[in-house]
Structure 1
Amino acid sequence: MNILITGGTGLIGGHFIKKYQHKHHFTVLSRQLHPKIFSEETAKVSNGQQGKNAITLIQHLESYQNLDAFDTVINLQGESLANKRWSEKQKQLLCQSRWQITEHLARLINQSTSPPAVFLSGSAIGFYGRQQALDIDEDFTGCYPEFSHELCNTWEEKARQCQSNTRLCLLRTGIVLSKDGGALGKMLPPFSFGLGGPVADGRQYMSWIHIEDICRALDFLIEEENISGAVNLTAPTPVSNLEFSRALAKQLHRPCIFPMPGPVLKVLVGEMAELLIHGQHVVPKKLLDAGFTFNYPALKQALAQLLTT
């Protein structure tokens, strides 16, 4: 299968390509090689040259008038939410880095004579905004109107521009756990030194997913023709921030006694703190109903695998 993927050098995209490069040919939109994922021996930066492990890197989409050559498009591109403080300039970067590429891909799909069979386009559980409700599934409509919702809502609207021409899955992704970076990578240093603890009162829920399971879920969505629309990519067992903090500390054989007060966090990182102080209890109803099984449905099991291998 020929797959066009944006964000292929990021956390999720990089793991997905490494796991399935034996199964698919990937064309990766990237401006540079990523040492953890690609090398000159496995991929060549080109417009059409193919690496020996069936990975082609392209630096732009300008030469494409349509996407007839691809069976699947996976869109994971976007500036990291946690890289910088959310100034108005940074907010614009967060939005445009997602919206522009999504709109471009949707336009190319609409211009295709034989469009890709499926378009997996990024989103996040931030779509729901801060929530007190439990078991939020894909049909939930009571979204809280804040920046994360506005960002994701427009992101999804850009992708929907092509849903009449291809099967569209909107990937509402939770907190991805990986030993190679992401949220867990940022939490490990303080917890490893015994300085970790819950954020604010710790009652807010964290909807997480193991990197292995999100990669398997993407492959499942490519094959499962009956799934479309929003899809929650989270493990079936969300936990509170306090539960998460205690489980991580226990796995590292460290105490969990240094909470981060909400007001202090707001001073340190600004509006971005809202992502950590407020949470969502999200469940992957569509995946479960379709028969997808998680290799790591429980947090203890997921952390043990990530931190002992």
Structure 2
Amino acid sequence: MPTPRPWQNRLALPAIAAPMTAVSGPDLVIAACRAGAIGAFPTHNAPSSAALDDWLGHIRAALTADSAPVAANLVVHRTNRRLPADIEILQRHGIELVITSVGSPEPVVGPLHDAGAQVYADVASIDHARRALAAGVDGLILLTAGAGGQTGWANPFAFVRSVREFYAGPVVLAGGITDGRSILAAEILGADLVYLGTRFIATHESMADDAYRAALVAASLDDVRLSTRVGGIPASLLASWLDRAEQDAPPEASPDTGFNQDRLLSNSTAWSAGHSVSGVGAVTSVAELIATLVGQYTAARHDSAGLVTND
């Protein structure tokens, strides 16, 4: 049996419905939490800090104490002008989990801990992981090759095992998690939780439009390309969207100058997708998707009894 993971008694599945720009909103978060997966969304998906306040109030009213936790993703990069206001709102609402990305979590860890939040950090290298831990985070989200949107480059097998050489706390594996069997494989590898993003885009509750959902159903991992076009750092995108975008404005019109929050938001209609897109066969509800994943995960555990360990 795996070691106890955070919030284990409130989860039907050791999974986070990953926060995705222009995709994750209150409906997706509520549905995921009700079905037993951590529901996450980027704070910048709310059109303003005041709207974020409303979103969190609506989400809290729709859930019970037994629901899975809500996680807010906070871009901590210096170009995020809403950062101070969004932090204050997260503190006031008593958010349980905050996921930091694109920058050092150090300035926000203290204030969020004071408000009772756990802080997990996106990391894409061993150096990132060590620096995040030195900043005081409570868990690590390992961005590996194949993750949708802003992604990593490392092999997940090597990355997880390297991190486990020096860190025994919560680890979330992001990148290419397709089904219940791959969730179990991540646990055997040493992860406590997994990120699933692409699978949740093709749900009725996501904020993706119908054309985006249909493109995911039709795509395979061969249709995913890396590009810095959207936010200034490498991201996994559907080639069909990227080809159209490059026809409308050649890449030279958007020089690579590193991450910029405004650049990310100006490309919020981008069609992100990870390598797990090959597992998207239909548009379903969040509840149906999680029930399918739970069934696959349970069957895989039965087939692999005695193999799971989280050392």
Same fold (TM > 0.5): no
Task: Report the TM-score when normalising by structure 1.
Answer: 0.33
Task: Report the TM-score when normalising by structure 2.
Answer: 0.33
Q: Taking CA–CA contacts closer than 8 Å with sequence separation of 6 or more, which of the two structures ends up with the larger relative contact order?
A: 2
